[in-house]
Amino acid sequence: MSATRFLISGRVQGVGYREWCRREAVARGLRGTVRNLADGSVEAVIIGEYAAVDAMLEACRSGPPAARVDAIGLDPVEMPHVDGFVILPTR
């Protein structure tokens, strides 16, 4: 199991990125959270099997049709306890 923080930058707010991310994660059997950040980026914490997390990373590089992803920063994080996949308020 892996817990990884994705910091996604580009045109990722106002394009449905969070809901898209939630649907993609659930379809891959992943848990975690996603939220907009005040600087215009999106933060996702993705929890699951390594292969599924890697597949999610590849999907996030494109995002939904209206998005433009410029970069994704990755950081391992402590395994948070979260059930399902939750869209959090902006931080």
Q: What is the pLDDT of residues 5-60, one digit of tens each?
A: 999 999 999 999 999 999 999 999 999 999 999 999 999 999 999 999 999 999 99
Question: What mean pLDDT comes out for the span 48-74?
Answer: 98
Domains of the chain with bracketed CATH: 2-74 (3.30.70.100)
Residue from 11, 36, 68, 91 carrying the catalytic annotation: 36
Q: What is the pLDDT of residue 79?
A: 87
Least confident of 2-6, 45-49, 69-73, 79-83: 79-83
- Annotated active-site residue 18? The verdict is yes
pTM of the complete model: 0.95
- Annotated active-site residue 36? The verdict is yes
Q: Say if CB 69 and CB 1 are below 8 A apart.
A: no
Q: What is the pLDDT of residue 8?
A: 98
Residue from 11, 18, 28, 35 carrying the catalytic annotation: 18
Backbone angles phi, psi at 71, to 5 degrees: -160, 155
Phi-psi region at 16: left, alpha or beta (left = phi > 0; alpha = psi -120 to 50): left
CA 30, CA 50: separation in Å to the nearest integer? 10
Q: What is the pLDDT of residue 80?
A: 85
